[in-house]
Amino acid sequence: MEPLGWADITFRLLIRFTPVWISLIAVFALSIRFRRRLGLYGRLFGSPIGMVGFGVVMFWALTAIHAGLFHLIATHDPLTQIPGMKNSPPGTPVADARTSGAYAYFLLGGDNLARDVFSRMVVGSGIVMLIAPLATVFAFMVGITLGLPAGYHGGRLDAGLSFIANLILAFPVILLFYLLVTPEIVQTGLPSYMAAILFVFPLVFVAVLVNARLRIQPGKRNRVMAATMTPLILLYLVAVSQKDTALSFLPARLDPFDIPAGILVVFVSVVFVNAPTVFRIVRGLTLDIRTRDYVAAAQTRGEGAWYIMLWEILPNARGPLIVDFCLRIGYTTILLGTLGFFGLGLPPESPDWGSTINSGRKLLSIYPHSALPPAFALLSLVLGLNLLADGLREESLKD
Amino acid sequence: MATFILRRTGTMILTALCLTFIVFFLTNLYPNLEKLAKTQGNFRMSDEEVASWLGNRGFLQPMPVKYGQWLGILPGYVIRGTDGVLRGKCFGRHMAREDAPRFCGVLQGDWGYSLRFKDEVRAIVGVRLGLTGWLMLMVMAVMVPGALVMGVLAGMREGSRLDRTLSTVSIVTTATPEYVSGVIFIAVFASSAVGLKWFKGTATAAMNDMTFQNFALPVLTISLYGMGYIARMTRASMAEVMTAQYIRTARLKGVGFAGIVMKHALRNALIAPFTVIMLQFPWLLNGVVITETLFNYKGFGWALVEAAGNNDIELLLGISVVSVIVVLSTQLISDIGYVLLNPRIRVS
Amino acid sequence: MPTPEHDGPVLEIDRLSVSFFTRSRAIPAVMDFSLGIRPGEAVGLVGESGCGKSTVALAVMRDLGVNGRIVGGRIRFRGRDITAMNDAQLRHLRGNEIAMVYQEPMASLNPAMRIGRQLMEVPMIHHQKSRAEARALALEMVADVKLPDPRRILESYPHQLSGGQQQRIVIAMALMSRPALLILDEPTTALDVTVEAGIVRLIRDLGAKYGTSMLFISHNLGLILETCDRICVMYSGEAVERGKIEDVFDRMRHPYTQALFRAIPVPDADRNTRPLVAIPGNFPLPDERPRGCNFGPRCAYRVPGLCDQGRVPLQKVDGNKGHVSRCLRIADIDWTAPPAASGRGRKPGIGKVTLRVERLKKYHDLAANALFGGGERRVVRANETLSFDAHEGETLAIVGESGCGKSTFARVLMGLETATEGRILLHGNEIQDIATGDRSRETVSAIQMVFQNPFDTLNPSMTIGRQILRALEVFDIGNSHAQRHSRMLKLLDLVKLPRAFADRLPRQLSGGQKQRVAIARAFAGDAAVVLADEPVSALDVSVQAAVTELLTDIQRDHGTTLLFISHDLGIVRYLSDRVLVMYLGHIVELGTTDQVFAPPYHPYTEALLSAVPVADTSFSKREIVLEGDVPSAIDPPPGCPFQTRCRWKHRVAGGLCETRVPPMRTLPGKHRIRCHLEDPILGEMQPVITAAGKAR
């Protein structure tokens, strides 16, 4: 068989993404149809920048879903090496595709271990789109739970927490990664302990949220508290308890899943690096909003401090926080890439974008095709998130 | 002003102590030491042998004591080992045992010995820092003026065509981390397969002989990522200032547009970006590490990767101390600069 | 460009129309607006916020931003058409021949530039003066606006000056090149009344000295009366009435002007004999203007079929030269008919003491500048030995300018801060040391507060209903959600808001409506004491009356003690039973409204009364302008707090005022005054405001 030309490659790539196009059109059609009822999200569709950003982000999110859950889009297994395809240029036909029933071409070529670059990029999106938003959510939980009281109460609490936050911020990120994400440190169980601490924050957050709202109705509060906290605590225990690590307390029967050690340590360090910045943002917003009259009005009603923080201050800080959330997912994606680039944390065969760029860069001068696709993928996702944030900022300022 | 600087310096020293202790703690965790013992001794040591090897060399003292010794505020250990050899932290390699000083830590200028480079840490750090210094200098020279000009031009007429173009450019650059832009640059400008072959894909040669050809790509790679961010900050700040009432006052006083931008808006608009530029240092260091690795420029960042990758504890500690000091000093400069730029804050 | 001799009007605005363009449509902001200003004349432009008065000013300056455009009409300045000028001509005009003074002095001055440079810039640009010449001019001008130590001022940054001083600098800057026309856009709105009085006098004096024509924009009719020769009233983008001050004030011929005058308290207004009348309805949004007369839907004289047909042109008012009104029924309406009497009964008597404050002191440590720390701790003496009682069903007004300690007192009373010394007794229980969170539910719901800024008082992301419900939940009212819900709806009825508002978010409400919600929330737990901190000062005149009326109605029905904090003596005189005047943390005078508003006065009260503009030509006022600013509470003057500005100080023998804080003296009728002046001297005092004997 002949190698494909660039027009053919482009055409075949577009075809491969068919499920993504269909879902993307569906999402846009529905959103635009009901945009008036969808609040800030709906108004996003009035801003061209926001729409483009949202489209790009959704493209990768849908790719991740289709490739990760339904095994669509990718043409080959991201880990399988096919003999003869080592460093093959884009569009190279696979030798015995007819007999093995595999896809007939390496659309974007093969890497130095003869794996399909396109499939690795597509499957890699799953890892990025799972870890980056989730880690950002956790960073926000930590930042909000600590930033609100620091800004609201001020004084020693604020001074102490701010000192710690500045401490972490003054750390060169890369040094922190090199210190935290090494096999030796994983061996000491430090990441597990850090996970145990960081994963508590969502629990604290929800518990405080429920308590603050329903404090004055103790009966209802206890019921709601039990209903929300029981599954959360179970989830927490399951997530924290890991086989063969320092924290392994649940019997295997009760521990249905384990987070792979590599992913956990990457996750924890990314949350750890992001949380202080979120803390500073939340603290700043709180300092500003707590001077408003409606906060004073709540105080003169005798509301508790946490009610004021969570129901009077936090909802009114949501605009800047949502914008920062989008930006921060992008930043987290970049951090994940950095980790991959230095070969830290995730196993070397992992198809995530950072690791693929890392493995591709060594022969960059001769075979640029294996490092460029993940590089552009990462670039487009972060760009999309930045555009989305810009659109949201623009729209949220219109209030 | 003096008390302010003094207080800030105090906080800075406290921060530096905390940070170096954290680094010290993490690098001196037992698995790291075990690996050290095995690489220095031999790989087939039993656990007991590892423990006595470490014990003989003072590694098993309590963490705060070790930290104090490293810092130079506690006297260095002198241990007669299980093998009968007398070892001391301060026993120099070319020094009579009797002449050895009691204290030999960072404060005394003794930064330890790098196992990876077989040299004094101080010397290595000095050389590498010098190389990185050139890189940073170039980056600053490209990035800061570029970003400020971009930001001011974009922000002075919000919503104009120029603004939209420049804003798009800056968003794209902030979305391009060094390892992406570097890879793209090398592929486009330096690749032997398809590229334009304008520049060199490695900067190793620049360590001795810096030329435009071998240094342009690394400098551009680092500058680009930071440039977009600072430009956007400047733009936002400039746009805000341009809508301020005192700008309207100036306009209705009959001041021309150039005068408004240069005399009235600029100083107010630069306060925020100035702090941002200074606070960028922690991650500028990031960019340096990535870029130096990518372009094989053997500077400070490259040394960090080498030290961390080879479990070179003393070198890693030395590098941490330097980077922490660099970061904290820029923060101090940022605080002082903010006060100087902003007349509303006057220190009594 | 040499100015050609022109002996006509300085400014002629002829059928000006301005629109703002958004992405989808054009919104007309000013329509068919005409006005002329003759040399040396001062013309007032009055109207509520959003009526387009500032747009007129900016159109004259041709500074309408990217979205605004002049879509019709001409503006001629000394015969030259401003609308046709190019950029260079405009630059020559701005700051040189036409200058402007703005509402917020702090924001109008460049924070990073010394005052001197900002002033010198004007002659350097327009008259090519050298630095030295410009500096000499600036010094002269700073002295002209009566600022002490001009040399030091020139070297200062704006933030080192007080608000009043900043505004004087802005005025100096505007007058640097001796403009022919000065536009003043609400120049005193952000300032305290006694400072305002000084600025108003300065503007009048300088206008006379330089023969400058002035366009004075304000929402305050009293200020216009004190400064202007002619007045133009605007409503919803149009001039509705224009004429000489006396004509418009005494023989107004437009229903809106009349309604405006009836909504503001004048010295003889009285809750029972001459109540304020609020204008019904809301100001129309620029894109929802009604057909026909803009004021039609809110007008008491509207005739369907006449007023709602086409655009109403300006009509001449017979007999008054230059008096025009945009009303079709000038001749039909009986303009002298008194407003319909509201059938409200007399106020029930005042009951027993609900709140007693005894020798209350509040000092706070000024946290030494958080960023830099260090230094000795400084103490702010916010409240000094306050003592007074407040009774059931009584309205006690607390009057004072910013920095007098009234807000601190409010915070201590509400439990947001605790007292340093002294006692606060609510129904006989001490509450001064208990923070709000530790107070019992009964105490918390018994003292509630209405805040000043309606745009800040409601949580923007919670529905109105939810916010009132939350108050009910916290105060433990009702046994079930259903009960609380119905109570919430009743509260909405109480403040005369439609029940449908329960599901709305605050941003869908107007300022007045938000303040009503705030009142409903304050009364949710049947508060015995309601503290209203300037509840209407941020609202437009036409809404102020309605909200005030609502507040006092509810108070009367519930027998609530209303503590009414205000700086507006007009409204205080209108609605309060007793008045408490504060200055620099001290109570300087306390008595019934009649006692405080008639001599003998405390010297500060006297100055305060004189400073408040009165929008009625039938009263005359003695002018007493206080020099300088209110001293800082961190470093109060020794002796009497008011001694630095007091004009009676020389009448007290032995410099007593400078050494000893005067004791609280009780004059006949429980009228209390903190002053060293002896009784005979107090007896010499003349009333500040006198009716000119003209029958109304």
Rounded-to-10 torsion of CA C97, C100, C105, C110? -50
- How far lies B339's CA from each of A162, B5, B22, B347, C162, in Å? 20, 11, 31, 8, 22
User: Is the pLDDT at B193 greater than 70, yes or no?
Assistant: no
A120-124, B194-198, C57-61: least confident range: B194-198
Residue of B nearest to C109 (CA): B246
Residue A195 and residue A149 in one domain: yes
User: Is the pLDDT at B165 greater than 50, yes or no?
Assistant: yes
User: Is the pLDDT at A136 greater than 90, yes or no?
Assistant: yes
Identify whether the C-beta of residue B306 lies closer than 8 Å to the C-beta of residue B253.
no
Instruction: Tell me the Ramachandran region of residue B110: left when phi exceeds 0, alpha when psi lies from -120 to 50, beta otherwise.
Output: beta
Residues on chain A touching C456 (C-beta within 8 angstroms): 292-294
Tokens in use for A67? 């490739």
Identify whether the C-beta of residue C592 lies closer than 8 Å to the C-beta of residue C578.
yes
Tokens in use for B296? 């094989």
Mean pLDDT across B45-63: 86
Q: pLDDT tens for residues A329-347?
A: 999 999 999 988 888 878 8
| B336 touches A at CB < 8 Å | no
Tokens in use for C696? 């109304």
Identify whether the C-beta of residue C387 lies closer than 8 Å to the C-beta of residue C373.
no
Q: How close A207 gets to chain C, by Cα (Å)? A: 20
Query: How high is the pLDDT of residue C258?
Result: 87
Check if CATH label 1.10.10.10 holds for domain B131-341.
no
Identify whether the C-beta of residue C70 lies closer than 8 Å to the C-beta of residue C64.
yes
> For tokens 């760029």, what's the residue?
A357
- Does a structural domain hold residue A347? no
Residues on chain C touching B245 (C-beta within 8 angstroms): 102, 104, 107-108
The minimal CB distance from B286 to the residues A173, A187, A385 is found for: A173
CB contact under 8 A, B3 and C111: no
Residue A143 and residue A115 in one domain: no
Number of structural domains found in chain A: 2
Residues on chain A touching C462 (C-beta within 8 angstroms): 311, 315
| B32 touches A at CB < 8 Å | yes
Q: Which chains touch C (3 or more CB pairs under 8 A)?
A: A, B
- Does a structural domain hold residue A83? yes
- Does a structural domain hold residue A349? no
Nearest to C392 by CA among C348, C359, C424: C348
Which of B4, B248, B249, B275 to mutate to probe the C interface, most C CBs <10 Å? B249
Nearest to B98 by CA among B86, B81, B85, B112: B86
**Number of Cα atoms under 13 Å in the Cβ half of residue B205:** 13
Helices and strands in chain A: count of H runs, count of E runs: 18, 2
CB contact under 8 A, A300 and C473: no
Q: pLDDT tens for residues B312-345?
A: 888 888 888 888 888 888 888 888 887 777 776 6
CB contact under 8 A, A357 and B289: no
**Pairwise pLDDT comparison (B40 vs B162), residue with the higher score:** B162
The minimal CB distance from B19 to the residues A170, A182, A372 is found for: A170
The answer for C 126-165 residues in CB contact with B (under 8 A) is 126, 157, 159
| C371 touches B at CB < 8 Å | yes
Residue A179 and residue A137 in one domain: yes
Residues on chain B touching A383 (C-beta within 8 angstroms): 171-172, 175
Q: How close C341 gets to chain B, by Cα (Å)? A: 46
Sheet holding C42-46, edge to edge: C98-101, C181-185, C213-218, C42-46, C230-235, C238-244, C324-325, C315-316
Residue A109 and residue A144 in one domain: no
Query: How high is the pLDDT of residue C50?
Result: 81
Residues on chain A touching B171 (C-beta within 8 angstroms): 383, 386-387, 390
CB contact under 8 A, C521 and A297: yes
Nearest to C59 by CA among C229, C176, C234: C234
Residue A162 and residue A253 in one domain: yes
Distance of CA B92 to the CA centre of its chain: 31
Residue A158 and residue A116 in one domain: no
The answer for A 141-200 residues in CB contact with B (under 8 A) is 163, 166-167, 169-175, 178-180, 182-185, 187-188, 190
Euclidean distance between CA atoms A224 and C611, whole angstroms: 59
Euclidean distance between CA atoms C688 and C608, whole angstroms: 10
Residues 6+ positions from A235 with CB-CB distance below 8 Å: none
Instruction: Tell me the Ramachandran region of residue A313: left when phi exceeds 0, alpha when psi lies from -120 to 50, beta otherwise.
Output: alpha
CB contact under 8 A, B305 and A172: no
The answer for C 499-538 residues in CB contact with B (under 8 A) is none
* Average pLDDT of chain A to the nearest whole number: 86
Residues 6+ positions from C176 with CB-CB distance below 8 Å: C95, C99, C119, C122, C123, C137, C138, C141
pLDDT under 70: residue ranges of chain C: 1-6, 272-273, 340-348, 366-377, 692-696
CB contact under 8 A, B290 and A171: no
Residues on chain B touching C94 (C-beta within 8 angstroms): 251-254
Residues on chain B touching A387 (C-beta within 8 angstroms): 171
Euclidean distance between CA atoms A299 and C426, whole angstroms: 19
**Pairwise pLDDT comparison (C488 vs A395), residue with the higher score:** C488
CB contact under 8 A, C451 and A293: yes
Euclidean distance between CA atoms C174 and C119, whole angstroms: 9
A383-392, B249-258, B269-278, C104-113: least confident range: B269-278
- Going by pLDDT thresholds of 50, 70 and 90, the confidence category of residue A397 is confident
- Does a structural domain hold residue A346? no
In terms of residue numbers, what domain contains A95?
6-123+333-341+354-396
- How far lies C627's CA from each of A348, C637, C638, in Å? 79, 15, 18
Residue A153 and residue A164 in one domain: yes
Residue of B nearest to C370 (CA): B4
A7-21, A177-191, A198-212, A267-281: least confident range: A177-191
Euclidean distance between CA atoms C12 and C81, whole angstroms: 9
So what's the ipTM on this one?
0.86
User: Is the pLDDT at B281 greater than 70, yes or no?
Assistant: yes
Residues on chain C touching B341 (C-beta within 8 angstroms): 112
Euclidean distance between CA atoms B258 and B242, whole angstroms: 12
Q: What are phi and psi of C397, to 5 degrees?
A: -90, 135
| B29 touches A at CB < 8 Å | yes
Residue A306 and residue A222 in one domain: yes
Task: Work out whether strand C586-592 and strand C671-674 pair parallel, antiparallel, or are unpaired.
Answer: antiparallel
* Average pLDDT of chain C to the nearest whole number: 85
CB contact under 8 A, A216 and C437: no
CB contact under 8 A, B255 and C125: yes
Residue A211 and residue A274 in one domain: yes
CB contact under 8 A, A301 and C471: yes
3-class secondary-structure state, position C258 = helix
Residues on chain A touching B27 (C-beta within 8 angstroms): 179
Q: pLDDT tens for residues A64-87?
A: 998 888 888 888 888 888 887 787
Residue A233 and residue A325 in one domain: yes
Identify whether the C-beta of residue B334 lies closer than 8 Å to the C-beta of residue B278.
yes
CB contact under 8 A, B180 and A357: yes
Task: Work out whether strand C447-450 and strand C529-533 pair parallel, antiparallel, or are unpaired.
Answer: parallel
**Eight-state DSSP code of residue C603:** H
Residues on chain C touching A312 (C-beta within 8 angstroms): 459
Q: B6: how many CB neighbours lie within 10 A of its CB?
A: 11
Residues on chain A touching B31 (C-beta within 8 angstroms): 183-185, 187-188
The minimal CB distance from A304 to the residues C414, C437, C460 is found for: C437
CB contact under 8 A, B179 and A172: no
CB contact under 8 A, A386 and B174: yes
Euclidean distance between CA atoms C533 and C387, whole angstroms: 19
CB contact under 8 A, A338 and B177: yes
Q: pLDDT tens for residues A245-282?
A: 666 776 766 666 667 777 888 888 899 999 999 999 99
3-class secondary-structure state, position C33 = strand
Task: Work out whether strand C395-399 and strand C561-566 pair parallel, antiparallel, or are unpaired.
Answer: parallel
- Does a structural domain hold residue A272? yes
Tokens in use for B283? 């991650």
Residue of C nearest to B253 (CA): C95
Query: What is the DSSP track for A300-347?
Result: HTT--HHHIIIIIIGGGGHHHHHHHHHHHHHHHHHHHHHHHHTT-SS-
Residue of A nearest to C475 (CA): A301
CB contact under 8 A, A184 and B35: yes
Residue A211 and residue A310 in one domain: yes
Nearest to B211 by CA among B127, B179, B219: B219
User: Is the pLDDT at A349 greater than 60, yes or no?
Assistant: yes
Residue A33 and residue A74 in one domain: yes
Query: How high is the pLDDT of residue A255?
Result: 67
Task: Work out whether strand C429-430 and strand C586-592 pair parallel, antiparallel, or are unpaired.
Answer: unpaired
Nearest to B104 by CA among B116, B119, B88, B115: B88
Euclidean distance between CA atoms B261 and B238, whole angstroms: 9
- Does a structural domain hold residue A131? yes
Euclidean distance between CA atoms C492 and C467, whole angstroms: 12
Euclidean distance between CA atoms A309 and A315, whole angstroms: 9
Share of chain B above pLDDT 90, in %: 11
What are the boundaries of each domain within chain B? 2-110, 131-341
Task: Work out whether strand C11-21 and strand C26-37 pair parallel, antiparallel, or are unpaired.
Answer: antiparallel
The minimal CB distance from C436 to the residues A292, A302, A312 is found for: A302
Q: A135: how many CB neighbours lie within 10 A of its CB?
A: 27
Residues on chain C touching A301 (C-beta within 8 angstroms): 436, 444, 448, 470-471, 474-475
Query: How high is the pLDDT of residue B331?
Result: 82
